[in-house]
Structure 1
């Protein structure tokens, strides 16, 4: 029998908790699948992907490879199409691309009782910000305030928001802003904003949902003195559950066998 191999790729990658999450899931499912991590950058992604043999079932992709993975996929699921970002590649029957970040954010917001918030702020304008935007709109957002160091980089994000039918604007981190009920930070772990900017965002930002989980608390969470701060571990877990569904069923919407027990094993591995 051909062994089944999987991995998470990114740069950096040493901090990733995906290997222990996936290993716990496959053990709970009784599957002898191997899941590792590998440092792969944008320049070497194509050649590294092309060198994989038939033992490889799939890949998880993190920064900075989500857009490259989208370009490598022959087919895309709806969330990958909307965002232009792929964090999961299924390597059977061609290279198929999926985005589990959107559903992972929705699931994590639901667990935290944060669905239905109409005014939302997103920090950052990269691939994860696109997933956060789609997730927030599907979770009930009607107005989205995007903040970035260079607002011009958010042009595609603004266009996506308009296609989704949400009121959306983009500006600098320290511009004046109306209060929102939820702030979703898609800034890389370790990002530090100056104290005044962080304080202003906190004062008007409602609950902070920070996709970062290492280190935790993040610098922004530490500065979030005016409200509750939620770690990205919940998103990490829930998007990983959806990846396991893809690797097993080819569809992130199809639940796993005994999924509650699998999820409990994954949580224990965090």
Structure 2
């Protein structure tokens, strides 16, 4: 069977390394490629699939577009409006989003089992996914920290629909009250000198960046003795869930993380 990751640009993707490692572990003679694909070409591509195609990982900028091109979708996709996984079965396309449960699993692996409050840096699609993820872990309130509040409207809608009390703060005017979890969905250098104040006001830190690692925020957390979850942890856990959806077999996130680290080291 054939699988692939779709997106643009796609050459940097670690998905091929992880999924191929999973197939080797499971003894499956499957292939997994990286396919450069623009939004305008996605619909045509999806209508021309052969019987030997089983599924796709989907990355930027296709996550939102693909959610509108499938036959069926999970509740998470319906809530978020974007998907990172497509499974092909009997010529029908089914979409899911493993970023959300992957984030929950990555947090639990690091000992973060319950989150009542979270501060999320950023207001885009990843921030929305993380807001939904913490709602699944019992969160009651979330603070979105952005430079332009108008760009956080989508994440606010997702968080409120998940039952969270939402506040929006401006990064340059931020006052840091205590939270259970600090999540960064912004570039590594975006936090600047605020990173120490942000870290000491949180019981755990989740930085979705994975390269280069460690980020300044992660380094500050480690110095402060605050548990850190990385973007690579998220990547491995969401990929393991994708493998299970596509193959029907479970695989180890730890093994996939190792394959991703080996690929990064070889670059």
Range into which the TM-score falls when normalised by the shorter chain: 0.7 to 0.9
Query: Alpha-carbon deviations, 1:111-146, whole Å to 9, x = none?
Result: 111121211111222222222111101112111011
Q: TM (normalized to structure 2)?
A: 0.86
Inter-partner Cα distance in structure 2 for 1:89 and 1:143: 31
Alpha-carbon spacing, 1:49–1:159, altered in 2? closer, same or farther (3 Å): same
- Contact 2:128–2:156 at 8 Å: present in 1 too? no
Query: Alpha-carbon deviations, 1:72-122, whole Å to 9, x = none?
Result: 122111211121110001122311110111110111111111121211111
The 5 A counterparts of 1:94-243 are 94-174=92-172, 175-187=174-186, 190-193=187-190, 195-222=192-219, 224=221, 226=224, 227-243=226-242
Query: Where is the strand percentage greater, Structure 1 or Structure 2?
Result: 2
SS in 2 for 1:212: coil
Inter-partner Cα distance in structure 2 for 1:55 and 1:184: 39
Bigger Cα displacement from structure 2, 191-200 vs 171-180: 191-200
The 5 A counterparts of 1:1-150 are 4-93=1-90, 94-150=92-148
Cα RMSD for the two superposed structures: 2.2
Alpha-carbon spacing, 1:213–1:152, altered in 2? closer, same or farther (3 Å): same
How far residue 268 of structure 1 moved from its aligned partner, in angstroms, is 3.6
Q: How many residues are aligned here?
A: 256
Inter-partner Cα distance in structure 2 for 1:153 and 1:102: 21
Query: Alpha-carbon deviations, 1:192-251, whole Å to 9, x = none?
Result: 2152343443343442211221221134334555444321222111111111111123xx
Inter-partner Cα distance in structure 1 for 2:66 and 2:205: 29
SS in 1 for 2:166: strand
Bigger Cα displacement from structure 2, 92-101 vs 147-156: 147-156
**Structure 1 residues without counterparts, runs of 5 or longer:** 250-255
How far residue 70 of structure 1 moved from its aligned partner, in angstroms, is 0.9
Alpha-carbon spacing, 1:263–1:192, altered in 2? closer, same or farther (3 Å): closer
How far residue 35 of structure 1 moved from its aligned partner, in angstroms, is 0.5
- Contact 2:103–2:133 at 8 Å: present in 1 too? yes
Alpha-carbon spacing, 1:263–1:206, altered in 2? closer, same or farther (3 Å): closer
Inter-partner Cα distance in structure 2 for 1:48 and 1:214: 30
Name the residue aligned to 2:263: none
Name the residue aligned to 1:252: none
**Structure 2 residues without counterparts, runs of 5 or longer:** 261-267
Bigger Cα displacement from structure 2, 203-212 vs 162-171: 203-212
- Contact 1:105–1:132 at 8 Å: present in 2 too? yes
How far residue 30 of structure 1 moved from its aligned partner, in angstroms, is 1.6
